[in-house]
Amino acid sequence: MVDRLKARLWIIFLTGALVSACVTINQGVPATPTEGIVFPTIPPLPLVTLPPIPTLVPQPTDTPTAETAEPATPEPTLAPGETAPATPIDLMPFLTSGITVYNLGDSTLYVDATIIDTGTGDEYPVGVSSVEPDQYTRQATLATRYRIDFSYSQDTNDALGSCTIDVAEADEIDFAALPDGIIVTRNAVQPDDPAEMVVATSSLCQAGAAG
């Protein structure tokens, strides 16, 4: 038991001696600075003086003067008994309906349109138009009565058929011309009776006919 105690004391003594020697060595060696990254010194930025902000001035508007103003157009002077010219009328607001003609034949189709006054019976020719094979044309029209003649020959304007029809507001009338006749429909409605689709027998093409 005494030997064990002596052994422990001896170990403690040796440990203390080693620690004292280490402390003495460390105190005798001067500390050296740690080598690291040396950052460059950034010089101060020079002060920049901004120029003064210019004041916006509105651009003057040129005011016409007596020298620059355009002279007024003088009113025409009418001679005694002379009538002033008619003012042009815009008919587009009145063209509320439409007539379309399809040419399903093999040659040029000629279409001759005439307006008929329902009160007096007077006729006003509109003109003749032509439609090439496999082509069609649509014309915006007035709501009134028309006689439309169809022909594949310029010599006889109604050789293929003729249709006198009352066109109402917003009506869309379609004609399809074939070498042996013409088909007619109103607003794309197909009637139950096939005869009502043929210009020669349709009641649509007999406007104004007696009884």
Q: pLDDT of 52-61, one tens digit each?
A: 655 545 555 5
Q: Give percent above pLDDT 90 in the chain.
A: 49
pLDDT at 3 over 80: no
Residue 208's pLDDT band (cuts 50, 70, 90) = confident
C-alpha to C-alpha distance for 198 and 190, rounded to whole angstroms: 11
pLDDT in tens, 121-159: 999 999 999 999 999 999 999 999 999 999 999 888 888
pLDDT in tens, 25-52: 444 445 445 455 555 555 565 555 555 6
CA-to-CA distance for 82 and 87, rounded, in angstroms? Answer: 15
What would the DSSP string read from start to end of 133-202?
TTEEEEEEE-SSEEEEEEESSSS-TTSSEEEEEEPPTT-EEEEEEETTEEEEEETTBPPSSGGGGBTTT-
pLDDT of residue 80: 75
Say yes or no to pLDDT of 5 above 60: no
Structural domains of the chain, ranges and CATH numbers in brackets: 93-205 (2.60.40.10)
Q: What is the pLDDT of residues 45-84, one digit of tens each?
A: 555 555 565 554 555 555 555 555 566 666 667 667 677 6
User: What does the pLDDT average to over 179-189?
Assistant: 95
Average pLDDT, the chain: 77
DSSP state of 29: S
Helices and strands (DSSP H and E) totals, the chain: 1, 8
HSE-CB at 56 with a 13 A cutoff on CA atoms is 2
| Residue 19 confidence class, pLDDT cut points 50, 70, 90 | very low
